[in-house]
Amino acid sequence: MAANPEAKVRMLDCGEAINAAFREEMRRDERVVMWGEDVITMESPTAGADLCTRGLFEEFGGDRIRDTPVVEAAIIETAIGAALAGLRPIAHVMTGGFQMGCFDPIFARLGTAYQEWKHPGSLPVVVMASVLGGAAKGADHALSPEALFMHSPGLKIAMPSTAYDTKGLLKTAIRDDFPVLFYTHREVMIREEKEPIPDEEYLIPFGKADVKRPGADVTIVTWSGMVLRALAAADELAGQGINAEVVDLRTLVPMDVDTIVASVKKTGRLLIVHEAMKRAGAAGEVAMRVTEAAPDVVRAMRTPIRRLAAKNVALPTSLRIERRLVPQVANIVATAEELVQESR
Amino acid sequence: MNAEADQGGGMDIPEEKLLWMYRTMVTTRKLYETMYEMYRHGSSLGNFVAGEGEEAIPAAICANLRREDSYKPNFRQTSCLFAKEGYELADVFSGNLFDAERGYLGFSLALGEDVGVYTGFALAAQMRKTGQVCVCTFGEGTASKGSIHEAMVIAAAWQLPIIFVLQNNQYCGGTRYSKVYRFDDLADRARGYGIPGRSVDGNDVLATYQVVREFVERARAGGGPGLIVAETYRLSPYFERAPGEVVIEEYRPEGELEEARERDPIPRFRATLADMGLLSDADVERIDREIETEIAHAMSDGRQRPRVDYEQYVQYAVAEL
């Protein structure tokens, strides 16, 4: 139900926002089609929410939305072929970890083939998957694979942290003429708090970070589910008189370096936080992009850039262990405090 | 079986189509020779691959396809695309064959990962009810790849209009297929997917033509996918080394290559056409000369076409993002 019908806003959770984005785009363009494992049957291609695809089969029929066998490679490869033939497929591969089973199709076919094949047209494929962090799901379900795919030359990568951003970015992804990897995060999908989503259509461009919380003392750059933890950490830090600015990158490729630089110019401190493992993780890329783009700003920083990310250990099926491997709210708080204290 | 039936019994094939297939096979062979000469003289780099001895299969396939259909030749036969309606000889020399409108979606040198892409073409055809079909060829080596299995599972599940052609040229690199496959008839695999499968003598262009026609017609009518196993023999080495590099092709048992040359599909079809009164010695000579002229013209036309330049090549990369 809309909180305020006058404002034409409805309160939606992330699954409902995804459902709305799919429905609007499939109505708008009959070339938009989708398939994946249990896309129709379980209504939960991005595991963690129940409503992502509810009602789509009934409205659009079995030619445009299909359940596949367990064939991750073929899900991606058929999406490439169908896109080259003129459709705009959304290919669901349940989790980021399962994408290791179709690594070649994503990294090499989707990410490089259309350049290699000298195709002067387009390759409109959206690959959707979930990162199921924070629930001891183990590496196959909880892997956050963005750094692996950032290395492929032709893949855009979206990892939103709110229902509002998810809807706007997903619609942009579906209309993009080139491949997009779109990751939802379990902790975003299961949030009980609904968000006001305008009935009126809106699109969020790729490459625009969002300052989720302004602050003057330290910049925390993060994305996906980790934004929620960073915001919780910022609340705690505020109690200690430290005002953290939380920058949600929203898309890793393209990356909005300008917004990070503007924030660092203000705070003089930069902490990059992610759920994926630290070694060769995306935080290193963020740090170097900032350094290359604004060496003077980096030189004037109060303290060196710091990163906080998961230890280089396979994700366990024990929450007790996972909590010690992956950054928690308390770790973000402690690291931000250190940054501020060492450079007062 | 009498000789005529063995040759596909293809007596309802129009004369001009028979001669077209012959010309296609001879052109394919001569293209290999031309391109090998170019390679030897440094006009192209990388490894040069040829498919001598396997020319009947693409000719039989292309004779059954329309412009809007899709065809992926075996990777060592990409130059055969000239025979697909919509393509011409000069395209082969232009360095840019990729064109979804004409049904060629490129190939993967990682081998096999492209089969699912062509399956996606067939999926789009089914979703849009266009009546297009796809014929996707791969070798018996590539047939081991997991991605081929997934493509066949999904093609069977959805009854997609795609014909998988497993071109068994006996050797994957230097590994004979019988070392890998513990069964004789590779078409038996089709049963595991619940799709029609058929083995055919891929050096018999007429027999191959008939099987391809049957499978293509069924797929076009909505009857779903199929697997054709075309038995042939690779007369060419696995790949030609650059000048100065040593060629080691010791994996073939002594005498096997010579024996295989006796089953070369081109002289074999030539003899059939001669028996049918469709081809004289003078015709053979004339056709050879005509094709050589066509190839020479195509080479000069194709090489004058605009190349993909640097800006074009990089514009689709997310290079600076």
Active site residue A141: yes
pLDDT at B151: 97
pLDDT at A188: 94
Question: Chain B closest CA to A266's CA: distance in Å?
Answer: 24
**Termini Cα distance of chain A:** 48
Q: Which residues of chain A have pLDDT under 50?
A: 1-3
Any idea which residue has 């625009």 for tokens?
A208
Distances (CA, A) of B273 to B7, B208, B284, B290: 11, 16, 10, 18
Of B127, B158, B312, the CB nearest to A64: B127
A82 has a chain B CB within 8 A of its CB: yes
In angstroms, the CA A277 to CA A311 distance is: 6
One-letter identity of residue A147 = A
Provide the number of CB pairs (under 8 Å) joining chain A to chain B.
140
What pTM was estimated for this model as a whole?
A: 0.92
Nearest CA in chain A to B315: A115
pLDDT at B6: 44
| Residue A232: alpha-carbon gap to chain centroid | 19
pLDDT at A71: 94
Average confidence (pLDDT) over B239-266 = 83
In angstroms, the CA B88 to CA B107 distance is: 19
- Taking 80 as the threshold, does the pLDDT of residue B318 lie above it? no
- DSSP designation for A314: P
| Catalytic residue chosen out of the listed positions A92, A141, A185, A274 | A141
Query: What tens digit of pLDDT does each residue of A8-50 get?
Result: 999 999 999 999 999 999 999 999 999 998 888 776 655 555 5
- Taking alpha carbons only, the member of B94, B77, B64 closest to residue B27 is B77
Average confidence (pLDDT) over B58-72 = 98
pLDDT at A142: 87
- Taking 70 as the threshold, does the pLDDT of residue B131 lie above it? yes
Question: Chain A closest CA to B309's CA: distance in Å?
Answer: 10
In angstroms, the CA B321 to CA B317 distance is: 9
Query: What tens digit of pLDDT does each residue of A94-135 get?
Result: 889 999 989 999 999 999 876 666 555 789 999 999 998 888
Question: How much is the ipTM here?
Answer: 0.89
Of B117, B119, B318, the CB nearest to A156: B318
Chain A 105-164, residues with CB within 8 Å of chain B CB atoms: 105, 108-109, 113-121, 123, 153-156
Name the token pair of B300: 């000069």
What is the number of residues in chain A? 344
Average pLDDT of chain B, as a whole number? 90
In angstroms, the CA B78 to CA A268 distance is: 58
pLDDT at A135: 84
Of B100, B115, B308, the CB nearest to A85: B100
- DSSP designation for B33: H
Asked if B227 and B81 count as a contact pair (C-beta separation under 8 A), the reply is: no
| Other C-beta atoms lying within 10 Å of the C-beta of residue B68 | 15
pLDDT at B317: 59
Say yes or no for a CB contact (<8 Å) between B121 and A84: yes
Which one of B104, B117, B118, B159 would you mutate to disrupt binding with A, by most A Cβ within 10 Å of its Cβ? B117
pLDDT at B5: 41
Q: Residue B46: its chain A contacts at CB < 8 A?
A: none
pLDDT band at B7 (very low <50, low <70, confident <90, very high): very low
pLDDT band at B106 (very low <50, low <70, confident <90, very high): confident
